[in-house]
């Protein structure tokens, strides 16, 4: 696909990282995850990493000027990308508008109680070169008419990554008290951004519920993207 610019939107733990990795493979998109970029910078103890470490560990938002500069630098030479975790504020959305035109927004919906269960179960590969994601939570219930059937995504070998064999770990900001803070921040910050895209910018929305196993949701999103006829 040529010239496809997408944003994936969803609360922390809604699987947006995993969906965007799959969409990257399917459509040949460059995946840009601000969360991944920041975690990597922190791990490498770069100037940027040291500056933002405390903010990220507390689940707070990194200041707009820093995030905008990082993303603009990444996308300036790209025709195909999926943004994961950006924009999270109106300022960031407006800054993005100034440098490019977004074709569609993928919005993942999920009830909060499911999210908390799912985030508590998330495990990531400790090897930063790999970054594979697993989940030990096993969810099967209905909330407000939405039936969730979310089986665990387990590694084949006792809590070791299938791809590289490194031990699986829980992300610092996946701990329950931090998770709740992150959901609160997401709700407060995302509402105006989504409204901005719905009312002012009028970017097409692809909305899906995170209530079925990964591949089914990916297929749904893929069909919707193809329907929009972007390319
Ligand atoms: P994520 O993996 O997308 O949940 O991001 C992890 C953390 O990185 C967030 O809790 C923020 O501290 C920071 N972060 C990531 N993306 C942004 C953004 N667009 N604006 C501000 N902070 C961000």
**pLDDT tens digits for 187-219?**
888 899 999 999 987 899 999 999 998 899 999
Ligand 1: does its nearest atom lie under 6 Å from the Cβ of 56?
yes
- Determine, yes or no, domain membership for 150: no
Higher pLDDT, 162 or 174: 162
Domain assignment of residue 17, yes or no: yes
Residue 48 belongs to a domain: yes
Question: Is residue 108 a contact partner of residue 9, using CB atoms and an 8 Å limit?
Answer: yes
pTM equals 0.83
**pLDDT for the residue 1:** 55
Comparing 23-37, 83-97, 165-179, the range with the smallest average pLDDT is: 165-179
**Per-residue model confidence (pLDDT) at position 142:** 98
- For range 52-71, the mean pLDDT: 93
**Domain range holding 13?**
5-110+184-228
Residue 159 lies in a domain: no
Please report whether residue 128 resides in a domain: no
pLDDT at position 13: 78
Rounded CA gap, 179 and 204, in Å?
Answer: 29
Confidence (pLDDT) at 183: 84
The domain that holds 191 is classified in CATH as 3.40.50.300
Per the domain annotation, does 24 fall within a domain? yes
Task: Tell me, using a 6 A CB cutoff, whether residue 182 lines ligand 1.
Answer: yes
Atom of ligand 1 nearest to the CA of 71: 19
How many DSSP H helices and E strands does the chain contain? 8, 10
Instruction: Identify the DSSP state of 212.
Output: S
Closest ligand 1 atom, residue 38 Cα? 8
Residue 73 lies in a domain: yes
Whether the CB of 55 sits within 6 Å of ligand 1: yes
- Looking at the 3D structure of the chain, how many domains does it have? 1
Phi and psi angles of residue 8, each rounded to the nearest 5 degrees, phi first? -105, 130
Q: Is residue 175 part of a domain?
A: no
Q: Please calculate the CA angle 139-209-20 and round it to the nearest 5 degrees.
A: 95
Instruction: For ligand 1, atom 12, name the residue with the nearest CA.
Output: 56
35 lines ligand 1 (CB under 6 A): yes
Average pLDDT over residues 23-50: 95
Say whether 98 is catalytic.
no
Which residue's alpha carbon is nearest to atom 14 within ligand 1? 35
* Residue 122 annotated as catalytic: yes
Quote the ligand 1 centre to 208 CA distance (angstroms): 22
């Amino acid at each position: 696909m040529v010239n496809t610019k997408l944003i994936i939107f969803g609360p922390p733990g809604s699987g947006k990282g995993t969906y965007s990795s799959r969409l990257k493979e399917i459509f040949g998109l460059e995946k840009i995850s601000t969360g991944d970029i920041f975690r990597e910078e922190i791990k490498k103890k770069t100037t940027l990493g040291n500056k933002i470490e405390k903010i990220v560990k507390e689940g707070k938002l990194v200041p707009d000027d820093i995030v905008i500069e990082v993303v603009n630098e990444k996308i300036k030479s790209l025709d195909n990308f999926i943004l994961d975790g950006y924009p999270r504020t109106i300022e960031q959305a407006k800054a993005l508008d100034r440098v490019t035109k977004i074709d569609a927004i993928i919005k993942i919906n999920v009830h909060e109680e499911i999210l908390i269960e799912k985030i508590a179960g998330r495990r990531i590969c400790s090897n930063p070169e790999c970054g594979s994601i697993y989940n030990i939570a096993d969810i099967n219930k209905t909330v407000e008419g939405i039936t969730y059937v979310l089986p665990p995504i387990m590694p084949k070998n006792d809590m070791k990554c299938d791809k590289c064999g490194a031990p699986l770990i829980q992300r610092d900001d996946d701990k329950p008290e931090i998770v709740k803070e992150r959901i609160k921040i997401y709700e407060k910050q995302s509402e105006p951004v989504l409204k901005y895209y719905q009312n002012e910018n009028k970017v097409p929305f692809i909305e899906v519920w995170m209530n079925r196993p990964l591949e089914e949701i990916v297929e749904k999103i893929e069909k919707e993207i193809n329907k929009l006829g972007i390319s």
